Amino acid sequence: MTMKKGLICLLIIAILMFCVPNVVAAPTSNYSTPFYNNARHTGDHIPMARGSTPNGTLNGNYVTEGNLASPTTPNGIAYIGSYDHNVYALNADTGTKIWTYTTGSWVFSSPTVANGIVYVGSSDHKVYALNARTWTKVWSYATGARIMMSSPTVANGIAYVGSIDNNVYALNATTGTKVWSYATGDTVRSSPTVGNGVLYIGSDDGNVYALNANTGTKVWNYTTKNMVWSSPAVANGIVYVGSVDCNVYALNATNGAKVWNYTTGDRVWSSPAVANGIVYVGSDDHNVYALNANTGTKMWSYKTGDMVRSSPTVANGFG
C-alpha cells in the first residue's frame, strides 16, 4: 500500500489573534500529558509553544513517509506517530528530528508522555513504552489485535488503552505487566478517560463504559444507537461523549444516567472539549458546536467546509 508523505508543520496561528500568557503548569506526577492535555480529556487550556506570539509564521517542518496521528507536545518536544511505522520526537520550535523509534506497523495512536516515558499504540498489536530522552524501548505489551485510534492514558502508575481485540487494557506503567483487561462487545477505538478512580471509554458495540480504574470492574454502561469512537471528557461530575448515532451525550459520571443529548446533522466522531461551562465538539455535518454544558442548549455553531472529526482545543478564550 502506497503511503502519502506526512508533513509536520509547526505553526504559530495568526487567526487566533491573541498574545500568550504564562504557559499552563505541567500535570502532577500522578497524571500524564496525553494527546488531549489531561487524563480527563477536557481539552481546555492547551498551552502553545513556549514564548510564542501567533503571527502566521512557519517555524519548521519535518516530512515523514506516511500519514500522521495527532501530536503531543510537552516540554518543547513534539511526539507523533506515523503510518510509516515510526514514532518521532521533534523539536517543537524548529521541526528538527531528535529521534525516531520503529514499530512493526502503522502508528495511528497519539503518544502520551508521563514521567519521562512515551506511551503509544501500534497496529502491530503492541503498546510501547519508550524512554523520552534516549528513544530506547522500556517495555512493550502485545494485545490480541491492532491498536488503532485509541491513545494511552496514564494515571496513578497505570497505562490504559483500547484495542481492536475488543478489550480495554490496564498495564503497569513501569513494567508493562497487565493489571487487568475488560472485554467490551466490539472493537475499542475510543481513548480512555480517567477521573476520580473511574475509567470511561466508548466501544463499537454502541456503549459508553465506566470501569473501576483499579480493578476493571464495570461500574455502569450507557447504550447509544451506534458506535462510540469519540473519547469521553469528564468535567464537574458529567461525562461528555459523541456517538456515530449523530448525538452528543452528557451522562452522570456516577451512575450513567443521561443528563441530556444534542442531535447534530450527522455522525459525531470528534471528542468533546469542555471549558467554562461550554462543550465544544465537531460533527460530520461540517459544523463545530458550542453547547451549554448543563443543559445541552446550542449556544452557537460554525459551518466549516467539510466533516469535522478532529477534537477542539480551547485556549485563552478561543476554541
Question: All 3 cell numbers of residue 187?
Answer: 472493537
69-78, 140-149, 170-179, 190-199 — which is least confidently predicted? 69-78
In a domain, 309, yes or no: no
In a domain, 311, yes or no: no
> What is the pLDDT, as a whole number, of residue 226?
98
The tens digit of pLDDT for each residue in 173-220 reads 999 999 999 999 999 999 999 999 999 999 999 999 999 999 999 999
In a domain, 308, yes or no: no
Segments forming the whole domain that contains residue 132: 7-303
Question: All 3 cell numbers of residue 227?
Answer: 458506535
- Average pLDDT (60-67) is 50
For 16, phi and psi rounded to 5 degrees? -70, -30
Q: How many domains does the chain have?
A: 1
Q: For the whole model, what pTM was predicted?
A: 0.82
CATH number at residue 152: 2.130.10.10
Query: Is the predicted pLDDT of residue 131 greater than 60, yes or no?
Result: yes
The tens digit of pLDDT for each residue in 239-273 reads 999 999 999 999 999 999 999 999 999 999 999 99
**Residues contacting 152, CB < 8 A, separation 6+:** 32, 34, 109, 111, 112, 119, 120, 121, 127, 159, 160, 161, 191, 192
In a domain, 142, yes or no: yes
In a domain, 233, yes or no: yes
CA distance 311 to 228: 14
> What is the pLDDT, as a whole number, of residue 39?
61
**Residues contacting 22, CB < 8 A, separation 6+:** none
CA distance 220 to 266: 27
In a domain, 313, yes or no: no
**Secondary-structure percent of the chain, ordered helix, strand, coil, rounded to 5:** 0, 45, 55
- Yes or no: say if 228 and 240 are a contact pair by the CB < 8 Å rule: no
Q: Angle at Cα 295 formed by Cα 293 and Cα 296, nearest 5°?
A: 70
In a domain, 193, yes or no: yes
> What is the pLDDT, as a whole number, of residue 61?
53
Residue (of 232, 34, 229) closest to 220 by Cα position: 232
In a domain, 156, yes or no: yes
Query: To the nearest whole percent, how much of the chain has pLDDT over 70?
Result: 77
